[in-house]
Chain A
């Protein structure tokens, strides 16, 4: 019987209709998106449904697309179904002005620190998170370093000459 990408796509469109869109299959992994308000509902459905059974959160991260206005930040969830050995990628897009996304840390405890890391790097505000503070960077940092507009190097350093590195 087995679970494959067709069955997942079919079940999702049955339950959510037009809200799920943008089905892609890259290198065997099905990926889709929904509006950001539905992320918790969708993940709960993927968790509870007896055929889908996506009960393991492999990864949670974000990507910054500065050129897509209104959809600059994408939160990407990678899920895994152990019993049928199927992986899934789920994205929600949010704009850079209003970066509220519902937290999934009540459903998956693994998402707790992963959301903190995403907040630390991209500034996505996870609504309902028990402890949304910076986890990897210094607490006093006031910008979100992984966004494309910020440079990699510390601009206040005096001992490295950017000219020599080809970035002057």
Chain B
């Protein structure tokens, strides 16, 4: 009987004796999460081992960056963590400013802080609501997504586009924030806290949600540090490392905020840490907004640093003044003097320490640009996080880690 079977069906090695089921949690996920694959060996409902495959959206950013001049690389950085593009943009501009030794005025710093914290809020908003969706609660996500639209409107006022913002330039912003932008920001600051409180009330002490997320996907602080975790995932494990506090950039030292830290590093802690960070970000935005409003007169017109060698002059000056014309020509044609050197700069992205390692050889495009992407580094730990876990817990662990495929693969 079995001879007949062997003639027509070729079974893989060891598949008859195997006690576990192989499940392909394939690259096509129910939207939201992005493309990565997990080949899981299941024993009933328990996971015995998991092997991850990434690279399904590898777009060769690092090689592309060697082709483009510094100011064109901003569009690439947008598409790293596309849920919070402005943070990537600002991080890149800060790296260039470090290399080019450009000092930005305080007003620019505060405006950057407002934008970065708004982006952080939107990213945590998506992550926490998606954890809810994976636990079965779609309403929270739909309700809170509406508020992303309000933030998109603010981005549109500043830079013109919604999602992949390409915001700002080396040295500041391309135009001053309009009154409309500030008004929309005020509306957001007035209305969003109530929304976030309502969203948190749905989940925070919800019996079902707590049962699903507590004690699943836990990681200890030592293992997390060894795996290179940063950001909310590390803070949930108990280590209070935040790039904004350790190496303050863009005048973060002028702001008063706390960094929420968890204890066990499980899914519930990660959810709570992100939720609390939204509150802290709201408070930072309010402080920054007050500081920006405090600038009066000509100081309120400052929106970029005074570095004509790297910042495109205004078009009307290009048509009338000689120096502006020369600078415009030099910047566009790539004749600016970019110093040689190596710089590593990190910002606190929504997922952790987003680092830019830039090696410049004096030419208009970098010699080598490497992105230190937090998602790529902490996704390695996924097999350890889901060791001997149930399949449904593994799904929630994956979404609570906030894996963004663009950042994973670059």
Contact = CB atoms under 8 A, between A and B. Distances in A.
User: In their complex, do chains A and B touch, with some C-beta pair under 8 Å?
Assistant: yes
Interface of A: 26-27, 29, 31, 55-59, 61, 63-64, 76, 78, 82, 85, 87, 89, 108-110, 112-114, 117, 121, 134-138, 145-146, 152
Contacts, number: 86
B227 A110 contact: yes
Contact of A137 (B55, B66, B380): B55
A27 B99 CA distance: 8
Q: For chain B, what secondary structure do more than half of its interface residues adopt (helix, strand, loop), or is it mixed?
A: mixed
B54 interface: yes
B344 interface: yes
A114 B377 contact: yes
Interface residues of B, number: 40
Contact of A82 (B227, B241, B377, B409): B241
Nearest to A87: B344
Among B99, B246, B370, the one with the most A-chain Cβ atoms within 10 Å of its Cβ is B370
A27 B343 contact: yes
A55 B225 contact: yes
Nearest to B241: A82
Interface of B: 54-55, 58, 60, 62-64, 66-67, 98-99, 223, 225-228, 239, 241, 246-247, 341-344, 346, 353, 355, 357, 359, 367-368, 370, 372, 376-377, 379-381, 409-410
Contact of B343 (A26, A56, A57, A63): A26
B228 A136 contact: no
6 contacts: A29-B344, A57-B228, A59-B357, A63-B359, A114-B376, A136-B58
A76 B357 contact: yes
Given A58-B228, A76-B357, A145-B60, A136 B372 contact: no
Contacts of B241: 82
B82 to A, nearest CB: 18
Contacts of B372: 58-59, 78
